[in-house]
């Protein structure tokens, strides 16, 4: 279990939504489907896993060529994780930065 949980630190930056969905899908197919529909699991589980991985890679490449190569960028709330322009200001007394209020 520590190895499983420690491996999450090596994943790309992800939010709690990513981890929650991964755990939910893993539980659904690794426990529920395996326990109650073992024939389906034995026949289709690895095909489904490969299809989901290949679909993710395909859509990533498709979005790159469709959007980025044409100079189109998506502006959504997830691009600016900080959300507050003053969050980068120093908080120690005596240190000032342009555009930040003085302590």
61 within a domain of the structure (yes/no) = yes
19 pLDDT tier (thresholds 50, 70, 90):
confident
38 within a domain of the structure (yes/no) = yes
3 vs 66 pLDDT, higher one: 66
55 pLDDT tier (thresholds 50, 70, 90):
very high
Confidence at residue 15, expressed as pLDDT on a 0 to 100 scale: 72
Please answer whether residues 100 and 89 qualify as being in contact, where contact means their C-beta atoms are separated by less than 8 angstroms: yes
Task: Say if pTM beats, i.e. exceeds, 0.85.
Answer: no
Residue 103 has pLDDT above 90, yes or no: no
18 within a domain of the structure (yes/no) = yes
2 within a domain of the structure (yes/no) = no
Identify the domain containing residue 55 by its residue range: 14-73
7 within a domain of the structure (yes/no) = no
21 within a domain of the structure (yes/no) = yes
**What domain count does the chain have?**
1
Largest Cα span, the chain: 68
CA distances (Å), 50 to each of 18, 54, 94, in order? 19, 6, 56
Confidence at residue 67, expressed as pLDDT on a 0 to 100 scale: 87
95 within a domain of the structure (yes/no) = no
Confidence at residue 59, expressed as pLDDT on a 0 to 100 scale: 92
């Amino acid at each position: 279990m520590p190895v499983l949980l420690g491996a999450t630190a090596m994943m790309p930056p992800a939010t709690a939504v990513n981890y929650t969905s991964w755990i939910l899908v893993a539980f659904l197919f690794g426990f529920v489907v395996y326990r109650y529909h073992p024939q389906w699991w034995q026949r289709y589980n690895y095909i489904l896993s490969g299809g989901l991985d290949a679909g993710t890679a395909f859509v990533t490449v498709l979005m790159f060529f469709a959007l980025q190569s044409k100079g189109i960028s998506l502006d959504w709330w997830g691009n600016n994780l900080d959300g507050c322009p003053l969050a980068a200001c120093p908080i120690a007394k005596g240190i000032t930065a342009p555009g930040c209020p003085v302590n």
